Structure 1
């Protein structure tokens, strides 16, 4: 699709920039990597996303972008991120494409949505968690939301979704150490989420309870979670 690919390529800078600006509003990026480093690598990745989209359009092969998404996910989850973060990058690109006139019926938008779908695990306990994510999130939120101020539900839902993504990635890669490192760092960051009086360990404890009949591998991984905040720093 040379005409479409050329149109997208000509807008690389604006598409890349517009796709990531909203991401930096999340305090996670500044806390985890430092805002300058987060912006530098985030901006570079955004350009690569568009370049791979152009390649896929040139070849009329959405699989090029899908394979890139899966490859990049494997790299990023070893650096403190999770599948949800990458999905948010592609979601931002889809919004940027719409703003440039490439709506849901266009090939560029369709290819990006295919890349997002490619991030879903196809088998194993990670797949099982993703398939049941909506029900799991709803059940965990019902357990936790009572002490929170009105209007907190969307933020709590997103937080549980994020923890599920980290858990799914650790299961898919068979890397319990990634989960351990995530919990240790995130326990100290949690206060910036504005979900007091809840803490991360309460969130994970609720998740553990809801997954009582879920994938045994997930329960085993959650059983590694410290029982106190102090343990995360021991």
Structure 2
């Protein structure tokens, strides 16, 4: 009987393709990096994810995937991406595995789960921000309800999660410029998200408000991100 690693290896191309396809539906990638570069590096990264999964299965060591996830996060954050982007890549791989009957409880799936868990910062303000992200996103979305349709609310929560991920990464790296560079670019991209009159500075201003006293470092960093807060009151 073939081992899970050999079975995964035999399906590597199909798993990689299935895992990354949802990413290409997000206009962020083409706008940020261009269509050709997005496809080339997206496909390449997806194949690398599967290769490292095969290695971790060969060695029966989820730590292979954990170490890979942390290393790759550092690289991608330096190139304008966020922890959330990488987590979504791994989530896509988990979904592709589950579609081929390697779901929760199977060794391949659990190794990918370990990689996703490794993306949680071990401590400090970045970990606190990750832990509170869902609550913060709900709170900010609720306060912005007048701008939103019912269909917009979950989309805005996803957007807020992304901005908090960039914020957590900048805090963890000790590099405020990571957030500032992202915000400067995202202001121009924001209209493509389709939230009508809801402006990006308003969204960030509301995030700043809900961070409050519980996340002083994150709030202070967000205040230096290079956008105008004139539209907000916090």
Q: TM-score, normalised by structure 1?
A: 0.95
Contact 2:83 2:166 (8 Å CA) reproduced: yes
Any stretches of 5+ residues in structure 2 without a counterpart? 230-234
Contact 1:145 1:152 (8 Å CA) reproduced: no
Contact 2:212 2:219 (8 Å CA) reproduced: yes
Further displaced range: 212-221 or 159-168: 212-221
Corresponding residue number in structure 1 for 2:92: 92
The Cα offsets for residues 58-89 of structure 1, whole Å up to 9 and x where unpaired, read as 00000001100010000001111000000000
SS in 2 for 1:121: coil
The Cα offsets for residues 171-190 of structure 1, whole Å up to 9 and x where unpaired, read as 00001010110000000000
Contact 2:180 2:226 (8 Å CA) reproduced: no
Residues 124-163 of structure 1: matches in 2 within 5 Å? 124-163=124-163
Q: Alpha carbon RMSD of aligned pairs, Å?
A: 1.4
User: Would you say how many aligned residue pairs link Structure 1 and Structure 2?
Assistant: 229
Asked if residue 58 in structure 1 is aligned to residue 58 in structure 2, the reply is yes
Corresponding residue number in structure 2 for 1:173: 173
Asked if residue 25 in structure 1 is aligned to residue 25 in structure 2, the reply is yes
Corresponding residue number in structure 1 for 2:232: none
SS in 1 for 2:147: coil
Query: CA shift at 1:228, angstroms?
Result: 3.1
The Cα offsets for residues 76-135 of structure 1, whole Å up to 9 and x where unpaired, read as 011110000000000000011111121112100011011001001110100111111121
Corresponding residue number in structure 1 for 2:38: 38
Asked if residue 104 in structure 1 is aligned to residue 124 in structure 2, the reply is no
Q: TM-score, normalised by structure 2?
A: 0.95
Any stretches of 5+ residues in structure 1 without a counterpart? 230-234
Query: CA shift at 1:227, angstroms?
Result: 4.3
Contact 2:183 2:227 (8 Å CA) reproduced: no
